[in-house]
Structure 1
Amino acid sequence: MSASFALALNAAREAAGSQHYPQGALYVVATPIGNLADIALRALHVLQIADVVACEDTRHTQALLRAYGIDKPSAHLLAVHQHNETEAAQTVIERLRAGQRVAYASDAGTPAVSDPGARLAAAVREAGMRVVPLPGASSVTAALSVAGVIADDGAFVFAGFLPSKAGERDAAVALLAQETRAVVLLEAPHRIEALAKSIAALGERSITVGRELTKQFEEVATMACDGLPAWLAADAQRTRGEFALVLHAAPDAPKADDGLRVLELLLKELPVKTAVKLAAEITGGSRNELYEAALRLKEGIAPSPSGRGQG
């Protein structure tokens, strides 16, 4: 532990120690997404006084606690991750019924946001016990805060990780083409190039890429969606690290040829009937007209205008 965090622990006790922290409650604790200094004073205090720290990875959380100078015996750490969350929630509930304070922390950021924690919180609430949020770092809000998304109502959609299979991912992107609000996506380094290839189909719509947010090699850049593959390819370092991306709000309402555009995207990965069905559901277009357009596309003939409208 550095001297700086020793001061932080003292500050946490001074700032948060006088507040009431009921026993028999689950405390959902946001932890840093990369920069250790992004820890809330209240989070530090609760992690100190918790009887049990439930966590996604006990080794990771133990190292995090020690970095702050918080010493928790291994017996006071409980693994609660995506593979055991439902069962482990019952263990947490038993601890709460015994009057213990239980803190839950995922590996990074805010629990239950593309991380375990939602099932645990739901189970505790259903058992009639209190769930207390301790807000803090989140790659979702961090990316939105610097993207400069301009929308009258400020609305956005959190889509998280898109499917890993190419056809399913392209279908998901086709849905995003119809979404007029800003959309926040997350992606891992080994899949970012595949995502970029799919996202390029959205053309000139703006996207902000946040790479390694809060860390030493943080990078934030905004570009057209069809420029994302080239941006990644321009520097080998850009495919490293975790990604949070913000697809900006669509500047215009959907156009009349959206059915054909979506159909062309889906036909690259899916059979004709499946592509037509999805394109019709996504855009509201006529299934018959889209089917005729699909056949013409497969034959290499440009579709007639009748295949472009929405029925």
Structure 2
Amino acid sequence: MKVKFFAIVCFLVLFLLSFRFFLFREGSFGHNWDWSFPNPKILYSNFNLLSFYTWKDFNLGWVNDLVISHLLQNWLFGLIGSMIGAKWLVFLLFFFIFSVSYYGFKRLLDFLTISSHLNYIPAFLYAFSPFLFNDIIGGSWVMWLSFSLAPSYFRFLVSYYRWSRVRDLICFILISISVVVSMQNFVMVNTLVLLYLFFEVVQGQQKFRSLIKKTFFLILLLGFINAYWILPFSSTFINFSRSVIFVNNGAGEFASIVNSQQNIWNILSLTGYLDRNMYLYSVPAQSYRVLLYGTTVVFWSAILIYFIRDNNKYR
């Protein structure tokens, strides 16, 4: 109990220190290419329209359904913002994002390994990741929401695969609506889940046939629940998958996003428009491949070592 109380106090102190600038000054602190963040209060009454229209008739303007997957989130965001105002809304949003990230990642680690107070440390690192702060500067709040709910999405999905509980299925479905707004996070988390389940199949903890049946069922269920944006978006999918050339404006020193081509692969690989990964692009060109391949090798080596040691433990 003392450790939990100390962890909560540390979280609150670090959160208040991180956002002290927001509490004691006015004005915008983020941007999303063509609007500032936080938005004026008058915008919230029409906030849901952001899911149907873009700002201009060039670049992404001709894809009217590009962000229709944000419809429910934008509607709720606009409704609350029109009632309590922009400043309180954004502060509560920050607190929700960081607390859910912190709690969700701690619970995920307890679920995958063993419940330990040491799991608070990586939970802190996840919740206060510099990449999340980088996204905050970008101003795309639905990306923060997807990031914060990703650990809980992983936990409830794996839990459903293991025990087929209705409670886990309901929680997974509710969370998936907000995780899918970031296609990068959605694809990445599901890829990690499938890899994890594959190792469970190899170790005999999951049956392959049951895994296939549940996967097929979840795909149909997710498709049905997300039909409200999948069907309108499918009408513009062909145009969306084609490249869009961007003007040489606003990219600064980051040549990787100047005149880049926008397509499905570029979105999923975090390159081109909608990218927030400026830290990676600030790495010297000669070190980029070393960093990329080195991180990949270390990551997969750590996973392999873990499963080898875990397998030897039970022999």
| TM-score of the aligned structures, taking structure 1 as reference length | 0.26
Structure with greater strand percent: 1
Q: Say which one has the larger Rg.
A: 1
Structure with greater helix percent: 2
| TM-score of the aligned structures, taking structure 2 as reference length | 0.26
